[in-house]
Amino acid sequence: MCLAIPGKIIEITGEKARVQYGEGVVNSANISLVEVVLGDYVLVHAGFAIQVLSEAEAMETIALWEEMLNAGGYPDA
C-alpha cells in the first residue's frame, strides 16, 4: 500500500522543496506537479508533491494519522 503524507514546505529551490513532516523529519520532494509557496502544506507521494492542502486539512489528516498510530491500527506495509 502506498500512502501520501502531508508536510509543510520549508524551502524551495527550483522544482525541489524541503518538506517537514511533524516534529523534525525533513525530506526532499519534487514540486513540479503543483503550484506552491513557502509555508504551504502538500501531500507527498513517492517523492512528488501531488496536492496542496489548507493548513486545516493538513492538521486534520496529521491528527488522524497520530490517532491511528497511537491506537496501533496502522495499515499493513
Query: Mean pLDDT by 10-residue block, N- to C-terminus, for the chain (77 residues)?
Result: 83 98 90 97 95 94 84 63
CA-nearest of 62, 68, 69, 64 to 6 is: 62
Residue span of the structural domain in which 65 resides: 5-71
Secondary structure tally for the chain: helices H, strands E: 1, 5
Q: Is residue 76 part of a domain?
A: no
Domain count, the chain: 1
**Which pLDDT score, from 0 to 100, does residue 47 have?**
94
Which residues, 6 or more positions from 51, have their beta carbon under 8 angstroms from its beta carbon?
A: 4, 34, 42, 43
Is-contact 18 28, C-beta < 8 A?
yes
**Which pLDDT score, from 0 to 100, does residue 20 have?**
96
Q: Is residue 77 part of a domain?
A: no
The three cell numbers locating residue 49 = 508533491
Domain CATH number, residue 16: 2.30.30.140
